[in-house]
Structure 1
Amino acid sequence: MSAAATRSKFTKQLDDIEEFLNRLTEKCASDVRAAGLAATGDKGAAEGVMAGRKNEDRLRNAIEENCLDVMLLQQPLIGEDLRFVSGAFRIVSDLTHIDGMTRDIAFLVEEIPAKASKKLVAEFTEMSECAAAMVEQAGAAFAASDVEGAQRVVEEDNRVNALYDDVEKKLVGLIRDGKSSARYLPELLMVAKYFERIGDLAKRVAAWAIFRVTGEHVVAEKASQQRAGEQ
């Protein structure tokens, strides 16, 4: 194969990785929002989340196979190309973990009566929307090599954490007041915890966006501190 043909194949593989990664990011964000609907009693949304496993598997496999092919056959792989491929390969793990959590939520809420979950509609709706937006923004930051966008994802996680604290306090109040919903405290709290953990995973994706630009893979909060100290 000529050098030009080899480079053409390489460019197409990079384009394919980016396209598949964008599609997986969009799917995860959509499933996070659907999990929020499921958590507030939407059975159709829960069924949709549970039915999406095969599509996730196809996208994950396509990304991983292209990344491995590039890393094994396109040598030497250096600089921005290396950071993109290795970052994409690691992001897939975080995104599939996020998507798996949305199925965990959908399964969990089957055990929660609508009357109980309705007491947390506002909190679950806001948590799911915030977490979904973080996933979208982190993926966009990686695609655009946008460090500032990645840092905004890190900052937005404070909002998800605060919402989780609100849910915890509200459930404690239900117990104190002797409400029947308190019987489902473990399940309701776990749903909130899943959304909080999805926010943490979105931060991990944002950290890989920073890595793509700087070549340093550090905890996102530390990266933020380093940049602040340089200014």
Structure 2
Amino acid sequence: MTLKTRTKFTSQLQGIQEHVVRLKEKCAADVRAAGLAATGDRGAQEGVVEGRKAEDRLRESIEDGCLDAMLLQQPLIGDDLRFVSGAFRIVSDLSHIDGMTRDVAFLVEEIPDKAAAKFTREFVEMSEHAASMVERAVDAFVERDVELAQQVIEADDKVNSLYAESEEKLVALIRDGKTSAKYLPELLMVAKYFERIGDLAKRVAAWAIFRVTGEHKVEEKPSQAAGLDQ
């Protein structure tokens, strides 16, 4: 690869990275907004729903850039190969995350504010922790920071704990007759979406480790809510 070609290729990789960072920022913002939407904030709910086109553009830009790099700059080796292949996989996880925030936004339309208000703390905390995981996972990939990636993976325990708390609280409220049982599935599904976003952030962190070590391994567990893995 000539110096001129390498300079052009380096610029291409930088462009991919910049778009990945922008998609990270959008996803994290949408996760936090989904948390607010789940507590009755209609402005946040509308903002999440309207963000589909921006996510599509960023995803397409990253995918196109990765494909161009793989097809036109062969052979890719070392960190270049791990970056491009990792970024290509990360964009799928980030897009899945952003799609889940819209699922939450649509779902909360079916939940009365009075019912959702009982879970303001849990939903806001879950969304904040999950959004932070997304941010730090992508930062770890960009910065080649294995320690930060490992911290993200470990942080998933907090999101899982908050989900378990939400589940227990819902069951207690239904048992005590304080919340209509017909909203139980929707409320539990909202909590499950945030828990699943944490799992996907953990997958992104695993790709950050892959970029440094060349090994990709992340513990997977079966989803407890139907449809979330589609």
Partners in 2 of 1:204 and 1:180 — Cα distance? 35
Paired residue for 1:55? 54
User: How big is the shift at 1:6?
Assistant: 1.4
Correspondence list, 1:26-175, <5 A: 26-175=25-174
User: How big is the shift at 1:28?
Assistant: 0.2
**TM-score when normalising by structure 2:** 0.94
Partners in 2 of 1:130 and 1:104 — Cα distance? 18
Question: Given the superposition, is the C-alpha separation of residues 182 and 173 from structure 1 closer, same or farther in structure 2, using an over 3 Å criterion?
Answer: same
Partners in 1 of 2:46 and 2:212 — Cα distance? 39
User: How big is the shift at 1:219?
Assistant: 1.6
Partners in 2 of 1:206 and 1:67 — Cα distance? 19
Partners in 2 of 1:37 and 1:16 — Cα distance? 32
Partners in 2 of 1:209 and 1:105 — Cα distance? 27
Gaps of 5+ in 1: 222-231
Which one-letter code corresponds to 1:124 in the other structure? F
Partners in 2 of 1:75 and 1:187 — Cα distance? 48
Paired residue for 2:224? none
Instruction: State the percentage of identical aligned residues.
Output: 74
CA deviations on 1:115-168 (whole Å, 9 max, x unpaired) are 000000000010000000000000100000000000100111000000000000
User: How big is the shift at 1:180?
Assistant: 3.0
Partners in 1 of 2:81 and 2:6 — Cα distance? 15
CA RMSD of aligned residues (A): 1.1
Paired residue for 1:13? 12
Partners in 1 of 2:200 and 2:120 — Cα distance? 23
CA deviations on 1:21-72 (whole Å, 9 max, x unpaired) are 0000010000000000000000000000001111101100100001000001
Partners in 1 of 2:62 and 2:98 — Cα distance? 15
Partners in 1 of 2:3 and 2:215 — Cα distance? 31
Paired residue for 1:194? 193
Paired residue for 2:182? 183
SS at match of 1:63: helix
Which one-letter code corresponds to 2:140 in the other structure? A
Q: Which moved more, 1:5-14 or 1:148-157?
A: 5-14
Asked if the contact 1:154/1:220 (under 8 Å) is kept, the reply is no
Gaps of 5+ in 2: 221-230
CA deviations on 1:54-94 (whole Å, 9 max, x unpaired) are 11011001000010000011111100110000000000000
**TM-score when normalising by structure 1:** 0.93
SS at match of 1:40: coil
User: How big is the shift at 1:220?
Assistant: 5.5
Partners in 1 of 2:71 and 2:219 — Cα distance? 29
User: How big is the shift at 1:95?
Assistant: 0.1
Paired residue for 1:206? 205
Partners in 2 of 1:205 and 1:181 — Cα distance? 37
Paired residue for 1:218? 217
